Amino acid sequence: MKFLEQLGLKQQNAGASSGLKWYDTTNAGEFHIASPVTGEAIGSVYKASAGDYDRIVDQAGAAFKEWRKVPAPLRGEVVRQIGMALREKKAALGSLVSYEMGKSLQEGLGEVQEMIDICDFAVGQSRQLYGLSMHSERPNHRMYEQYHPLGVVSIITAFNFPVAVWAWNAMISAVCGNANIWKPSPKVPLTAIACQHIIKDVLKDNDVPEGVFSLIIGDNDVVGERMLNDKRIPLVSFTGSIRVGRHVGEVVARRFGKTILELGGNNAIILTPNADLKLAIPAVVFGAVGTAGQRCTTTRRLIVHEDIFDKVRESLLNAYKTIRIGTPLDEDNHVGPLIDTHAVAQYKKALETAAESGGEVICGGEVLSGKGYESGCYVTPALVEASNDMDIVQAETFAPILYLLKYRGDVEDAIDVQNAVAQGLSSAIFTTHIGEAEAFLSSQGSDCGIANVNIGTSGAEIGGAFGGEKETGGGRESGSDAWKAYMRRQTNTINYGKDLPLAQGIKFDI
């Protein structure tokens, strides 16, 4: 593949980098990476050792002490140049994302565009790391708050967005003045290595301290668990499953560290009798089958009023017949493979469990084989008539399975169904009735971190803070004021008078 060469990837690649140099450890084992698109080997990555980990963290700590002295707008200038470097490599990196992870080429290119967009956002943010001023109750006193960088930030990313989530975190964190260590998913490490190659010249040309953008790829017991327990790392940003996220939160909290947790979603779209189905059906289909159902914002439940249920069911069956499944590098295809055969097994098990629980699989449910499907990772998107109280519907299966749920009554009843799961990431309603829309967005409405009207659950823009509630974790990344998570807040009071009055009128004379 030509894009592998364009991105500086080799048959065997080092698994640890301080941003400006690579570590040459070769005796800690290798990750062998095969594409879910074809099943063919792409290359391998040498695992980092415990010694590599300590050197990376120490280097990042030293880099932070220098990087925090650089004015924030100048840090933003470095990020601007990183965005320009990503623009030059967009086609190659997007192709690699598609080939290594399995999402469609359009989605791969879109993911790189997200990286570029967040760089642009971070450049502006570098001039707006603002605090507030408050009036003091004491005469001749001034109060204000300011934000300082935290130190070393660990960014642990999942396979489904192998580069964008790193950029969401690292670019904002960098303009805030932090050093950043990236631990990517071992399922998709080559995209991370490619990013280090892309940014290296920018770091070198701007004399960025070695260690501001580090990468370490290794086993969980050698790298992951050390990160969680390492007091040198004040913030751990983790994207992944609820099960692992709970462990991350507990371990980091025990040492009083901070976390950003972006965990599972069990996202629903509500279709009321007032829904415009011409808008709704395409949004539902993309939300359910995009990235082969491997987004945290994937639409997993469709809550449909009984008056339009049969019509919606028929429309979806017709739409699913038009879905083209195949290599994601062919832009005519809608759906590529699941990440690996383990994900295929989970897909099959979920459908079996749904059927055993009384659900009815009305479309899909097949594992494809034969020419073009040699990897064994291609499946047909499934539609399942079910009820919200089924255990399998309450869980998140990272696969293209959409559960059709029927509701009766008014929009409040639909909202109750939507909220009756443990996760709280993304949600949507389709309606032309303003009262229903406002009810959905009110304090009595959706309990998710993202709530949309007349658009689907997937495809969040970088300008808004991204994250969820309940077992989704509660953290926020990307836009709005999410930058504050990467900094420590400080309240300052200045006495410019000649007396020392105390707050609350307390008298203390000596």
Residue type, 360: E
Q: Which of 119, 176, 195, 296 is catalytic?
A: 296
In angstroms, the CA 186 to CA 180 distance is: 18
Query: What are the percentages of helix, strand and coil residues in the chain, rounded to 5?
Result: 40, 20, 40
Q: Catalytic annotation on 363?
A: no
Q: 47 Cβ partners below 8 Å, 6+ apart?
A: 15, 25, 28, 29, 30, 31, 217, 218, 219, 222
In angstroms, the CA 473 to CA 425 distance is: 9
64 and 178 Cβ atoms separated by less than 8 Å: yes
Q: Which of 107, 262, 471, 477 is catalytic?
A: 262
Q: 39 Cβ partners below 8 Å, 6+ apart?
A: 374, 375, 376, 377
Q: Catalytic annotation on 195?
A: no
Pairing of strands 423-424, 469-470: antiparallel
DSSP single-letter state for residue 379: B
DSSP helix/strand/coil, 210: coil
* Residue 356: its H or E element: helix 341-356
In angstroms, the CA 208 to CA 451 distance is: 39
**At which residue do the structure tokens 């949507």 appear?**
428
In angstroms, the CA 115 to CA 162 distance is: 11
CA of 229: how far to CAs of 43, 235, 329, 411, in Å? 31, 11, 40, 46
Reference 220, options 465, 409, 47, 372; nearest CA is: 47
Pairing of strands 299-305, 401-407: parallel
In angstroms, the CA 365 to CA 97 distance is: 26
In angstroms, the CA 175 to CA 173 distance is: 6
Taking the CA atoms of the chain, what radius of gyration do you get in angstroms? Answer: 24
Pairing of strands 152-156, 179-183: parallel
152 and 233 Cβ atoms separated by less than 8 Å: yes
Neighbouring CB atoms inside 10 A of 387's CB total 14
Reference 83, options 137, 126, 58, 120; nearest CA is: 120
Active-site residues: which are they?
262, 296
